[in-house]
Amino acid sequence: MIVLVTGASHTGKTLLAQKLLEKYGFPYLSIDHLKMGLIRSGYTNLTPKDDSQLEEYLWPILREIIKTAIENKQNLVIEGSYIPFGWDKSFSQSYLKEIRYYCLVMSKQYIEEHFSDVKNHACEIEKRKDDSWCTKEHLLAENAHYLNLCQHYGYPYLLIDENYQVEVNL
């Protein structure tokens, strides 16, 4: 089984992937690690700030990793924000039945009431060097964007609303 975990920044994608590793023993691939490996190795001239171009660059690689894992009957969690909306069009039905998709979205109310908590837990799994770009306004806009796209595409999402509880059962 392949588990795709995506969503806005600071929603706990890596934390959920870590929980799935601990609960089910499914290894996970951080798309950010793949991104930085390609950037640091010089295999691309893109930078960490080139989000839309990075999604286009990374998706063909991720798509084929997913297919290979399914063909080899391997479980894998892939987490990160570079999973494009419309991702499912890349797979036949035989692949799709082996893929679970979860998009993490914080509600406006949650961000308004818990912004300082979100910032305080930003390094729960990853140790971020510079988080100064993450403002309440940025999180509000990004989460609204993910919610709108999930609703538009009919994709499932896990809404973080009153308190932070993100659990999935596979």
Q: Does residue 34 register a pLDDT over 90?
A: yes
Question: In the chain, what is the straight-line distance between the N-terminal and C-terminal CA atoms, in Å?
Answer: 9
Give the per-residue pLDDT at 126: 59
Q: Which ranges in the chain belong to alpha helices (H)?
A: 13-24, 31-41, 51-71, 93-96, 108-120, 136-153
Residue 9 DSSP label: T
Inter-residue contact 3 to 100 (CB < 8 Å): yes
Of 33-42, 56-65, 147-156, 158-167, which range is least confident? 158-167
Task: Give yes or no for a contact between 115 and 136, defined as CB atoms under 8 angstroms apart.
Answer: yes
**How do strand 157-160 and strand 76-79 relate by DSSP bridges?**
unpaired
Q: What tens digit of pLDDT does each residue of 117-169 get?
A: 766 665 555 555 666 666 789 898 999 999 999 999 999 999 999 877 777 88
Closest CA to 63 of 41, 33, 92, 40: 92
Give the model's confidence band at 41: pLDDT under 50 very low, under 70 low, under 90 confident, else very high.
Answer: very high
pTM of the model: 0.89
Distance, CA of 42 to CA of 170 (rounded, Å): 37
- Is the Cβ–Cβ distance between 3 and 78 less than 8 Å? yes
Question: For 2-23, how does the pLDDT look when each residue is reduced to its tens digit (9 = 90+)?
Answer: 999 999 888 889 989 999 999 9
Which comes out higher in pLDDT, residue 28 or 110?
Answer: 28
